[in-house]
Structure formats: C-alpha cells, structure tokens
Structure 1
C-alpha cells in the first residue's frame, strides 16, 4: 500500500516474515472505509479494543484460537482502516508477548469477511502500572490490600487492575520502531510533578494520601511512552502514547479525576520546551521532547473537552497547545442524539458510546511540524454495510470505543 515503507532493522522488537502492504480484498462499499494514504502520508491510529479480561491469562487463552468473535470484529476494523502505526489500549500485557503474537497471527493477519489480512512487522509493548501492588492504602479505606483479584486490591494497585498487566498497551507498526530509544515514564511519581493536583480530604487542605502512600503513588495509571517511529523522513516521529485513568469510580476526594487531569497535562508539559524539566524517565533521563521534534499524541485519554466527568482544563490545554494540531475527525455513526445541537452541527468527533453517551475520549493529535490529511473515526451509521462491527448498543460487537485515525504528512 505504501511504497515508502523501509526494510526491517535490528532495532525492532518483533519481525514477522510476511509481505507488508498487501492490498485488502474487495469489501462492501462503505463510507466508513478510508482509501489508502496518499504518497508521503503515514496513517496513525488509536484503538481501545476492550480485549482485556478479568483474569490473568484469559485474553491469551482466547486469542490462542481464531474463534473469538470480539477479536475478529476488532481485527476486521483494523483491516478496513489499515493504519500504518497503531496504538492499542486495553490489551493485557504478558511478559512473553503471547497475547500480542496471537492477536497478530490468529486475527490481524487472517482476512475476515472480505477484508484482507494486515501484517505489522514491528511491535512494542512494555510493562504497565495496572494491577501492580503498591503495598500502601491508595483508595483511603484504611487498609492496604496486596492479594490480587479483588476490587480493593485494584484500587490500591499502582494503576487500577485486578492483576499485573490488565488494561495494558501495545504498538503495532509497518514502520521500524526505535525501541532502543524509547522513553517510558511508568515509575514517575505523581508528587514529583510541580503543581500536581494531588487529592485532599474533602473540606480540608489535608492530603488524602498518607506520606507513605504519596511516596509510592505514580502519575501514570498505565504508562507514558515516547516511542520514535522511523517513517522514512529526515527525523523520526515520536509516538506519545498513554491511557490515563477514567475520571470516575472514586470518592468525594476525586482522586481519579485529578489524576486523569495530570496524566494528560504531562504530555502538554512534555512538548513545551523547558516545561518538563522535572520529568524523569525509567532510565533516569530528565526533560521533555526537544524543540522541533515531530510527534503524535495518541491514546484513550478519557477526557472530553465539553462533556463527561473529567476536568476539561487538561485536554483543552493539549488541544489548544501551540505545537499541537487537532484534526477533529468525524464519523456518521457518532452523530449526537436525535434533534440535539450536536446532530444539527453535523457529525461530531465522538469516539465512545457508553457510560455517559457520546464522548470524545480517544485521540490522534499530530504536532504542527507535520501536515494532516484525511482523518476519521470508524463509527458506521446504522445503514452502513459494516455497522455490524460496532453495533448500536451494549453488548458491543467489538469495543465500546471507536478506532480514530489520521493521515499524517511527514
């Protein structure tokens, strides 16, 4: 599909020996299926797949056989959109990488319902904070739960999760990933962010967390990754990937709301020269992204600038940042409720249809050093031939989120 794809290099983490760029088989005509990227464009996408399961190893077991209907629908969506660089949220992390391998071999590389299989020669996955025991009382119930499997354990974990690796992240790419130059910020402490919105006991100025809890509490509920992608241009494009905690499921101290705000704020600081001098990565290197380095912020950021329960300041700061372009992707299926102002103003850039209704929470945000071509949200309308992949309500055939994509001109 893209003649500019470079060959594999020894810096990659995973290489699959299969033809790259094969054209998809003919599918039913659908306005939700974009044409291939134009020459000089790279299609970036983010997709919260909702493939995470409630028990360790369960996702791996289901993916080990090509019969999981939800994974088939997720794979077919990816095959129809055919991104070049894809961030996956809510895929359980396992140290052996079996889940990601099974997803690729048993689902993505097999064609479904006329959509051609797609091969990603390169992948990246790293540990996340979800489900990792903190050893401290982080939810404020007076006890520190260290035995995995319960909600109380998940709330005391470094990131909400019933077991280590739940709700993880992964990157699949048709371009080489400079894994040896990736920066991860999983261990960065929340209290080390200047001006952090640390929760307080309601009605007081007293910290909600004890000194011991603050000493271990991390900013990232999963992780923050700066992963350089070699797109064949003069400089790599830095994929800035994360999945902040939902601004919900907490108490009057609003610890998740505040954490979500600061997790998003981290990227706004990171791309502002001098503003992230406080940041240290997991190798101890300090500072943010160098001025002029191109980037794409991607992920389920769990924040809508107009609706939902989060603090709008963080996502607004990112969307209006002088170095960030907001492509405002649209879809036919994401139109607002019938008769509302949302519908009257045309299809909106909504990427989730659950909990609070139509929300924009998933993003692909290129830097202004890069141009932006076609973009969209894979959210078919009810009369679309591929509406079956997203459906009209719970249970969703694929995910409660929608894949969002943008063609970035490099």
Structure 2
C-alpha cells in the first residue's frame, strides 16, 4: 500500500468510466462468463483496464448480484494482471427492483419496465465501482422520488405511480474516496436510462441529469457535495434522442470546469455525451482520452493532478 501512495502522490490520479457490455440475459451468467476467460466482451474489459490502469473505474452496465460475487471475480482477474482494486462499491440498485405498480401503463404488472429501473431481473445492467483508493463514505440518492425533483417531467408517469416512482433508473451516488493527503474526492456517479425507448425515458433521462444540477445549485433537501468532486457516468445521450438541455446546463454549472478540450473526458455521438468525466472547478487535468479508439463501447479516462492540500 505504501508503494501505491508513492505512485499516486508523484503522478496523476487516473479515473475512468466504461459502459461496457457486462450485462447478460439472466442472473449468474456474467459470473460464468468472467470465470470462463473466453467471453470476448469480458476479455476486452480486462485487457482494456490492464492497459489504461485507472485508479478508479465506474462500470455503468454491470449485472449486480447480492454478494458481489461477479464483481469480486472481475477484480480477481485484474489482480492477477497486477491491477488491484481492494475497494469496491456495488449495492442493490433500481435496475429490476419490483415496484408493485404498472409503471409503464400497459395494463400488466411485472414487466421489466414496471421495475423502478428497467430490468429483466434484479440488478440487470446496474453500476459498479472499483477503486485502489479507500472509500470514505457514500451518499446514495437512488431512493430519491422523481416527483420531488423541481420541475419534474412526469407527464408519462401514471398518477397512481408518482408517489413511489424513483428518479434513478440505476443509481445516483456520491462516493467519497481518500486522496493520499487525507482529503476526500467525491465521485458523483450515475447511469441514465437511454431516451430512445419508452414514453417515460426521454423525460427521465433529462431529469436524471437535472438532479445533479439541482443538487449543485442547492435546490434539493440535501447539501451540495464539497469540492473537490468529479461528475462521472453515463448521460446516455445521442443526436435526436431525448432532450440534452439539462445535461448542457449541468456542464456549464459554475461549480464544474467548463467542458473545454482537455478539461473533461467525453465519449460523444455528435454534440451530446454518452459517457463523461467532468471535474469540479479548481482541479487540474493533465490528460484525457478514450479506449479503444475504434469500438462501439469505449472507456473514457481522465488524469487529475493532485496539487498539495492547502495549509
């Protein structure tokens, strides 16, 4: 561990997020594929992480299981390649969480779209965080009700479902990790629903980004995260799909660095981000990029300079 701190203290802190293909058709299948060593999508993730070697990585499409067995198996594969992630965060999330209501309004109960977040089973395509840095604490906003968001776009949510319909399709987290100098770095992580499918999804995608804007602006009944922090995850926007207004407003928030070249890492499809990492104002960015250069699902990464803490 002393070697880890020495390495980070003299170099950049590398953060990454990857909307990799680590979701399967049923529970337990992802673990099977990780253990097999033969699944192309899993092997691409393993080799990609071993190549880029981020200190922290957020996976935004990773099947959750109750005891974190699949995530532990992936961490073991990476550890065998010399990349250790002793700290992990992947609690139960909204993906596949039964609501008991007809959320999609089709007259049937128990459809994947009746779950709090779309899911064919509990944890289908959820999020997972791997970190070489200790986790100091977590604020999990995944239970926040959509109706409690200022200006919530609820036009396609059945009125009977509004008192229980959560905003997050997967999760909204504030995960604080320990920097070597004792400070905490807050990771504001989320994985939004794609706006292309379903009547609710364009509005939900918009409001999942708007949540962070309202939180940073002090409009929600919980305190804004202290600096330094990094906005990280999957806005899941593409041209002609959904309304990018909330994401554009969030990107320009004065608490964040402007999304100029080199100040953030974005995987883009046209003018809208699919995945991003955007640091708070005051953090210094050394480099950013995507990996691999040519692929449908790519990792985005960003290097931060760890300036000394103020006296």
Q: Deviations over 1:64-93 (max 9, x none)?
A: 232322211111111111111111111111
Q: Deviations over 1:14-45 (max 9, x none)?
A: xxxxxxx7xxxxxxxxxxxxxxx893521111
Task: Supply the distance in 2 between the matched residues of 1:99 and 1:323 (Cα, whole angstroms).
Answer: 36
Q: Deviations over 1:41-69 (max 9, x none)?
A: 21111111111001111112222232322
| Cα displacement (A) at 1:269 | 1.8
Task: Supply the distance in 1 between the matched residues of 2:18 and 2:268 (Cα, whole angstroms).
Answer: 9
Are 1:244 and 2:192 counterparts?
Answer: yes
SS in 2 for 1:308: coil
Task: Supply the distance in 1 between the matched residues of 2:98 and 2:49 (Cα, whole angstroms).
Answer: 34
Matching residue of 2:93: 128
SS in 1 for 2:162: helix
Matching residue of 1:168: 126
Task: Supply the distance in 2 between the matched residues of 1:359 and 1:321 (Cα, whole angstroms).
Answer: 16
Higher CA-based Rg = 1
- In structure 2, list runs of 5 or more residues that go unmatched: 307-311
| Cα displacement (A) at 1:96 | 0.9
SS in 2 for 1:216: coil
Task: Supply the distance in 1 between the matched residues of 2:179 and 2:22 (Cα, whole angstroms).
Answer: 28
SS in 2 for 1:261: helix
Task: Supply the distance in 1 between the matched residues of 2:211 and 2:172 (Cα, whole angstroms).
Answer: 9
Matching residue of 2:55: 84
Q: Deviations over 1:98-134 (max 9, x none)?
A: 10011121x32344xxxxx411121111111011111
Task: Supply the distance in 1 between the matched residues of 2:79 and 2:260 (Cα, whole angstroms).
Answer: 29
Matching residue of 1:14: none
Q: Deviations over 1:295-339 (max 9, x none)?
A: 0111111125xx231211111011111111226469xxxxxxxxx
| Cα displacement (A) at 1:3 | 5.2
Q: Of 186, 189, 201, which residue of structure 2 is paired with 1:256?
A: 201
Q: Deviations over 1:334-390 (max 9, x none)?
A: xxxxxxxxxxxxxx95456xxxx8963100111013111111111325xxxxxxxx3
Residues 185 and 225, structure 1, Cα contact 8 Å, conserved in 2: yes
SS in 1 for 2:233: strand
Matching residue of 2:300: 404
Matching residue of 1:223: 171
Compare the two structures and name the one with the higher strand fraction.
2
Compare the two structures and name the one with the higher helix fraction.
2
Residues 64 and 124, structure 2, Cα contact 8 Å, conserved in 1: yes
Residues 261 and 310, structure 1, Cα contact 8 Å, conserved in 2: yes
SS in 2 for 1:70: helix
Task: Supply the distance in 2 between the matched residues of 1:194 and 1:156 (Cα, whole angstroms).
Answer: 24
SS in 2 for 1:71: helix
Deviates more, 1:229-238 or 1:366-375: 229-238
**Matches of residues 95-106 of structure 1 in structure 2 within 5 Å?**
95-105=66-76
SS in 2 for 1:100: helix
Q: 1:328 to 1:247 in 2, by over 3 A?
A: farther
| Total equivalences in the alignment | 304
- In structure 1, list runs of 5 or more residues that go unmatched: 7-20, 22-36, 112-116, 147-152, 201-207, 278-285, 331-347, 382-389, 391-399
SS in 1 for 2:104: coil
Task: Supply the distance in 2 between the matched residues of 1:407 and 1:299 (Cα, whole angstroms).
Answer: 16
Residues 212 and 250, structure 2, Cα contact 8 Å, conserved in 1: yes
Q: Of 79, 102, 107, which residue of structure 2 is paired with 1:109?
A: 79
Q: Of 358, 375, 378, which residue of structure 1 is paired with 2:291?
A: 378
Are 1:302 and 2:236 counterparts?
Answer: yes
Q: Of 110, 116, 128, which residue of structure 2 is paired with 1:158?
A: 116
Task: Supply the distance in 1 between the matched residues of 2:209 and 2:2 (Cα, whole angstroms).
Answer: 32
Task: Supply the distance in 1 between the matched residues of 2:260 and 2:301 (Cα, whole angstroms).
Answer: 9
SS in 1 for 2:278: strand
